[in-house]
Amino acid sequence: MTSNEPKMTVLVYSDDRATRDKVRLAIGRRPAADLPLVELVETATQAAVIDALETGDIDVAVLDGEAVPIGGMGIARQAKEEIFQAPPILLLIGRRDDAWLATWSRAEAVVAHPLDPLEVASAVADLMRRRAELRAAS
């Protein structure tokens, strides 16, 4: 990736390396042809997520709702309440029936385990577009 090529930064949080790997592989270098290249930031702790989000450099966050000891749902809610202009969040949930929890967490999108790579890429692409529109408007 050259320094003058546009990019967007996507944070991926899970305590499970395999889950982070699945998300990384689903997103690839760019989740859709109309989007810039992706720079991934992988984290395994709540503190690392909050630190990264507070920098303002994260365009989209993918949070594993099944992570332990602190799940992505709680982190999503914390980010939306405490971080100015928190990025759009994709929440990875354990079951489709848990999608209502995204309302509480204030996540903009959800994908259920087991992760479908096309569904993950599509959700991330939609959130990247949303973030780009917000940045262009401000």
DSSP string, 48-87: HHHHHHHTT--SEEEEETT-SSS-HHHHHHHHHHHSTTPP
Mean pLDDT over 1-13 rounds to 83
DSSP-assigned beta bridge partners for residue 37: 7
Predicted pLDDT of residue 101:
76
E strand or H helix at 133: helix 117-137
Q: Which domains does the chain have, with CATH numbers?
A: 7-137 (3.40.50.2300)
Q: Are 124 and 90 in contact (CB under 8 A)?
A: yes
Which pTM was predicted? 0.94
Q: Specify which residues 38 forms β-bridges with.
A: 8
| Tens-place pLDDT, residues 85-106 | 999 999 999 988 777 877 889 9
Please, are residues 57 and 9 in contact by the beta-carbon 8 Å criterion?
yes
From 121, 130, 135, select the one nearest 62 (Cα to Cα).
121
Residue 10 identity: V
